[in-house]
Structure formats: structure tokens, C-alpha cells
Amino acid sequence: MQEYFEQEKNNMLQLLERIVNIDSGSYQKTGVDKVGEILIREFEQLGFIAEVHEVVDRGNNIVLKHKEATTPSVLLIGHIDTVFPAGTVQKRPFTIVGDQAKGPGVFDMKASHVMTLYSLKYLISQNNDAYKNVLIIINTDEEIGSISSRELIEATAKTVKHVLIMEPADVDGNVVIGRKGGGKFFLKLYGISAHSGVAPEKGASAIQELALKIVQLHELTKLEGIHVNVGLVSGGQSVNTIAPYAEAGIDLRFETQEQGEFAQLKILEICNCTENPNIRIEISGGITRPAWKTEGNKSNLFFLIKEAASELNLELVTKYSGGGSDGNFTGNIGIPTVDGLGPRGGNAHQEDEFVIVSSLSERGQLLVKALDRLSK
């Protein structure tokens, strides 16, 4: 099997270069759909049939199933959107430096799709029917909360026994069996403008009101299992004007649903209560991903994958992540889920993002072994 992946290395890297060199930020429908179309053609060559779920203002979500499949019991999930704006590819296109491939979205998570494709191609070449036991969802808005794809993911997950989230692994190859839940809130404050030197008493500062709320919001982080971060702030008209407008973006993370629901209530309470009656407030958003924690910190699915790894002399270690993924949805509804099964690498969402080229083979072999075991 290792020989197969070595032989296919150049083909894998060529495909990876093609899809990395397409800007596919979550709001760039044309680019996201172009990546999806390339992957559909590749999977169709293996006998997979694509069911395209069209989305008007985002990329189309894709479900893949082999034409010989009947009732697959394993669902693989991975996204093709990235966090990067249009024009990023032109500034720093796909490159290979030693054993690292670089470029926007190469690690999170375009390399995972290439690895998955070639793992299934290997199974087919070996007449191993495990490829018939697989459903694949390629979604296009994971980086913004899987708004259009969550319903599809949850409905499909309920038809299978196991879910493998193909998000990338960290440098050490750890797999994820739990993630914090998360939410996003958007706060807008409307005040009254006035000249700050001539008649400040006629104004109502939206920025001052926001500053008071930021302190209160960050105080919520002292509560067990809760982290609140005001990560975006803007507002004002000019330096000598009482600010008529301000806005903020608020991120919430929590370990349990109870903590999340309590924190959401506190955030809304803080934001809706004004110190100045002349300030008008609008608050939107809420919890976007439920918390997911595997009972007993382990699962039978993980142990099966761990046994598959041992055949390859790989040591798998589990971790609990503060970041969200589509595993939050499937794990939360009770479907056995293991996350972080993609290639190893690091620096997701950063300019120096990288994937370890040799891990395409290493993790590809692990996926082959896992699918084989799950199909017996």
C-alpha cells in the first residue's frame, strides 16, 4: 500500500496544486463551485455519483456515493471553503518546500480531499468492497458555521453508523474526539453625533457604550467552561465627533450545552441593557455549533481506528479541541464520530499554513485500514 501512495505522489500533488490555486473563500461562490466541480469529476472517474445541493449565495454542497453502493454505513465529511479573501492565490500560490506543501487552504483542508480520493482509488484497485460502504459530504461553508450544510450533514449522519471527519491532523497526528461548542454574535449601537468640543452634552457616544459592554462581556470568561472574546470592533465618525455608531463581533466558546445556553443569555442581557437611554441597540447571532464530547473520553470507533493505526506502526493520541468543526453536529446527535483524520500539518488560517507531504501517504493508509475494518 505504501508503494501505491508513493507511485501516486506526483498525481496527488498535481491535483492538490490545481485546487489550492483556486480562491475559494466561503463567500466566493464561483471559486468554491469550481473546486467542487474538479473533485466531482475525479470521483466520477472512480464510479461515484454526485448529488449536488444547490445554494444560491454560497458554494453548492455535494453528496457522493458509489454507483455499486446500497446502504453505506460510514460518512466522510470535509469542506472546500477557506478563510482567505479573493486574490490570496495570486499573492502566495501553491508551493512545495522540502516535505511541506504551502498555499491558501492547503492544510485546512484541501489536502484531505486529495488523500480521501486516492485512498478510495486504492481500495477499488484492490477489489476491496469498502469503497461501497462510504458516503461523502463535501460542504462549502464550514468556515462560517455550516449554515447551508448543517441540515444536510445531520440528516445524512442519521443514516449511517460512523462518521469520519476529514479535518486535518496536527503535526503530531492527534485525532479529535470532542470539541467545544461555539457561537457568534453581532452587536450594533446607534448613538447621537455631536461636536466633541462645542456641544458634547448633545451627543450620545456609541463607542463609550460599547467599551462598557466589552469589559462586561470579557468578564464572562471567568465562568467555568466559558470563553468570550470581542474580536472585532469598529465605529465612530471622526476624532472630534461624539460617536454616532459602533459595532462589534463577539465569539463564544463553551464545553457543555448548559454552559453555552447560560452564556448566551448573559451575552444578550449585557448587550440589551444600555447605560445611556439615548443609545439604540441591535443584537443578532447565537449559538452556531453545539458542544461535542465523547462519553468517557473514548469511543469504540476510536479504538477501531487506533488498532488500524497500530498495523501501520502509528501511535494515535486523542485530544479535545477548542475549535469547531462539522464533527460538533454529528457527535452532538449521538453518531460515533472521530475527527482530525486528514494529513498532518499546521498553521491553519495563517499565511504560513502547511501540510506535510509525506503524511498524505501515512494518513491515506490509515484511512484505507479504517474503512476496511468498518466494512467487515
Catalytic residues: 81, 142
| Length, in residues, of the chain | 376
Question: How far is the C-alpha of 61 from the C-alpha of 138, rounded, in Å?
Answer: 6
User: What are the cell numbers at 232?
Assistant: 472585532
Question: How far is the C-alpha of 172 from the C-alpha of 35, rounded, in Å?
Answer: 28
Place of cell 466633541: 196
**Residue ranges of the alpha helices (H) in the chain?**
2-7, 9-20, 29-44, 88-91, 111-125, 150-157, 206-219, 257-272, 300-311, 327-332, 359-374
DSSP 8-state class, residue 133? G
Question: How far is the C-alpha of 134 from the C-alpha of 306, rounded, in Å?
Answer: 19
Residue 158 one-letter amino acid: K
Q: Are strands 162-165 and 74-79 parallel, antiparallel or unpaired?
A: parallel
* The dihedral sign for the CA sequence 57, 40, 22, 358: positive
Residue 102 backbone phi and psi in degrees, to 5: -130, 160
Question: How far is the C-alpha of 25 from the C-alpha of 19, rounded, in Å?
Answer: 12
Neighbours of 69 (CB within 10 A): 17
Closest by alpha carbon to 105, among 90, 85, 86, 83? 83
